[in-house]
Amino acid sequence: MSEHSPTYQPPPDEGLGIRYIDDDLLVVDKPAGLLSVPGRGPDKQDCLSARVQARYPGALPVHRLDLGTSGLLVLARSADMHRALNRLFATRRVEKRYVALVAGRMDAGERTIDLPLIADWPNRPRQMVDHAIGKPSLTRLRVVGYDPALDATRVDLFPETGRSHQLRVHLLAIGHPILGDELYAPPEVFARAPRLLLHAAFLAFFHPSTATELRVESGAPF
C-alpha cells in the first residue's frame, strides 16, 4: 500500500513489541504498514501511538517512521521527557542504524551519500534531490553482503540528518532503490518484495533522567 493511498489497512494488533520501558519512556517495535501517528480521517486513527496509549495513557511519540518502515520508535511518558528527547533528536545526539535490502550489487565497503533534499511539491509526498535549494542531507552506508539469488545487497544505513524519506531517496539516487518501495522504486523493484524492506534496527542515546547510555536493538524481519 502506498503512503498516499486512500485505503489504509493496518496490520492486526498482535500486542506491543516493547523493546525497552521505564517510568520515563518506551521503545517499541512498529510493524510495517502501521502509521506512527493518526492520519486524517476516522479510518486512519489506528496507529502505533494509539495502540501504545491504550496501555500507557499519555505516551507521546518523539519521532516517526514511514508507514512502510518497521522498527524502533521512541515514546515519552511525560511532557517534560518528550521535550528532553525531542532536543536529543533535534541536535543529532541519537545514534541510529537502519537495515535495508536494495536492488543490485553494491561494492563492498563504506560510503557517504551527501545529497540535498527538498519536497517534490507536484508529486507529494515524494521528495527529491535538489542541489540548488535542497536541505543538507547526509547518510553513511555500510555494505553487509550481496545475495546473488535475489540480486540484492543488504546494507546498514546511518542517517546523520533526518529528512523525510531521506534513506529511500538517497539509495534511489545512487542507483540502488529499496526493494518494495512503491514511491521510489521502479515497478520491477517494487514488485520484488511484499513490503518496503527498510527497518529501524538500532537506537542509542543518553537517557535524560539517568545520563546513562541506552542502547536498543531490533532484528530486521527480512
Q: Residue 213 burial by CB count (10 A; 0-12/13-18/19+): exposed, middle or buried?
A: exposed
213: which 3 cell numbers? 547510555
Rounded to whole angstroms, the Cα distance separating 221 from 216 reads 16
Is 66 marked active-site? yes
> What residues pair up with 26 in beta bridges, in sequence order?
21, 75
**H or E, element range at 48:** helix 48-55
First-to-last CA distance in the chain?
Answer: 18
Rounded to whole angstroms, the Cα distance separating 59 from 82 reads 9
Q: Are 195 and 33 in contact (CB under 8 A)?
A: yes
Q: Give me the catalytic one of 13, 23, 46, 66.
A: 66
Q: Are 4 and 125 in contact (CB under 8 A)?
A: yes
Rounded to whole angstroms, the Cα distance separating 96 from 203 reads 5
Q: Please list the active-site residues.
A: 66
